[in-house]
Amino acid sequence: MDEFTVGLLVTAGLLAAVFLGVRVYVAASIAGLLGLVALRLAGGEAFEDAWRIGGGIVGTIPHGKSVNYVLSVLPMFILIGFIAYHAGLTHDLFNAARAWVGWVPGGLAVASVFATAGFAAVSGASTATAAVFSRVAIPHMLESGYDRRLAAGVVAAGGTLASLIPPSAILVIYAIIVEESVGTLILAGFLPGIVSALIYAALIIGQCAINPKLGPAMPSPPLGEKLGTLPGTIPIFAVVAIIFSAMAAGWATPTEAGALGAFVVLVIALFRGMKWHSLQDALMETAKLTVMIFALIWGVLIFVRFLGFAGLPEAFANWIISLPYPPTVIMVMILLGYAVLGMFMDAIGMLLLTLPVVYPAVIALGYDPIWFGIIVVKMCEVCLITPPVGLNCYVVAAVRPDIPLGDVFRGIFPFFLADAATVGLFLAFPEIVLWLPNYVNS
């Protein structure tokens, strides 16, 4: 049996295990180990030698990849979001958005989108954003007579903005896998994230203008009351300004900027009276999420090492290039593949499993790696709201047991269409993605 056939069989086994419910990091690490051993056996090695060599390769990966300095940015970005939540900054953000845009059709839902976008700018975790605003925004919408499907769908969709608006854990993972600049990708995600939020807002206003029962407009408060809500948003915008200015001006690496942002949020939280137990909760939740992401990275990189030995990425790239279709058509087919995979896999796992094979083919087609990173992370956003494994939808249903999961998925459908339109917009106008990093780096 040749190396390519071994690669195909092991990859098929991995996908089958994932679809059967085995956790991605477990399935990927076992498949990678067995694949490396199978390659040695196919090459004529004795059974004991094959296991010794394969196990030796696998044993070096967790430590070798954990000491990568770039990975240290992940806990920093995640910590910012959890401290901001436990310090109560999210309530101030929602109250300000409600005061300024609550008067438009579906105003509270629009406020939820803008508030989640603001929180996404200090949080790298989509599920955390969805959980936070399920507690903060949904009660206000339901009390004001909003349709519960719309209320749940807005929060689940708004939570996905944390995948794209920097700082984003998924953007960092993409940068690590494909060895691109973390700072450039973070800059590139800012404008597409804002565009996504505006498209969500336009969708809500359009829906509620046609059917006001979905989300009635609220009375507009006096200007003085509106202005009074702004001081509470200063900490969020201050952290965003610090992170972006430090990276754009070259004063700090992404990790240093993230550490500085976490320090600033912590100081603000302490001045606001943050209790010790709240800080403990923020640190523990950060540690749990970081460990989960690191476990995924370790497991999938073991599998990636096997793929490299089997020659699958190069073979796939050559096959993609040989297809008799324009690059745009091939790209659409790749994105449709991501949409299907996203129905059965979580976003980070899908990204880690597919990029080692897909990325070389995309680059061979002549696409910009930064642009593709934003596009593929946008597809990860879609995966967070598509059944049956739309993780954000499960989070909303878990936090709000009074809203059935079926209603959450029904409420998310218009936002799925909005995401499809957004991806099409980025495909047609790649300069939306590339303008900011090109401007900063010029």
- Residue 69, pLDDT above cutoff 80: no
Q: What pLDDT shows up at residue 303?
A: 82
Task: Kindly state the average pLDDT of the residues 113-123.
Answer: 85
Task: Kindly state the average pLDDT of the residues 357-385.
Answer: 90
pLDDT digit string, tens, across residues 254-283: 788 888 888 888 888 888 888 888 889 888
* Highest mean pLDDT, choosing among 46-60, 212-226, 282-296: 212-226
Residue-by-residue DSSP string for 302-324? HHHHHHHHHTHHHHHHHHHHHSS
pLDDT tier, 107 (very low <50, low <70, confident <90, very high otherwise): very high
Instruction: Please tell me which residue, 212 or 22, carries the higher pLDDT value.
Output: 212
- Residue 306, pLDDT above cutoff 80: yes
Q: What pLDDT shows up at residue 278?
A: 86
pLDDT tier, 417 (very low <50, low <70, confident <90, very high otherwise): very high
- Residue 411, pLDDT above cutoff 80: yes
pLDDT digit string, tens, across residues 172-201: 888 888 888 888 898 899 899 999 999 999
Task: Kindly state the average pLDDT of the residues 200-225.
Answer: 92
Task: Kindly state the average pLDDT of the residues 109-126.
Answer: 84
Task: Kindly state the average pLDDT of the residues 33-54.
Answer: 84
Nearest to 361 by CA among 337, 345, 377: 337
10 Å CB burial of residue 320 (0-12, 13-18, 19+) is: buried
Contacts with 287 (C-beta within 8 Å, 6 or more apart), sequence order = 75
Rounded to an integer, what distance in angstroms lies between the CA atom of residue 116 and that of residue 73?
22
Mean per-residue pLDDT of the chain: 85
Q: What pLDDT shows up at residue 110?
A: 95
Q: What pLDDT shows up at residue 432?
A: 94
10 Å CB burial of residue 213 (0-12, 13-18, 19+) is: exposed
With pLDDT > 70 as the criterion, what percentage of the chain qualifies? 98
Q: Rounded to the nearest 5 degrees, what angle is found at the Cα of 183, between the Cα atoms of 438 and 263?
A: 135
Peptide bond into 313 cis (omega under 30): no
pLDDT tier, 65 (very low <50, low <70, confident <90, very high otherwise): low
Q: What pLDDT shows up at residue 429?
A: 94
What pTM was computed for the model? 0.83
Is 97:51 a contact under the CB 8 Å cutoff? no
What is the 8-class DSSP label of residue 219? P
Q: What pLDDT shows up at residue 124?
A: 64
pLDDT tier, 138 (very low <50, low <70, confident <90, very high otherwise): very high
Task: Kindly state the average pLDDT of the residues 25-45.
Answer: 85
Is 117:317 a contact under the CB 8 Å cutoff? no
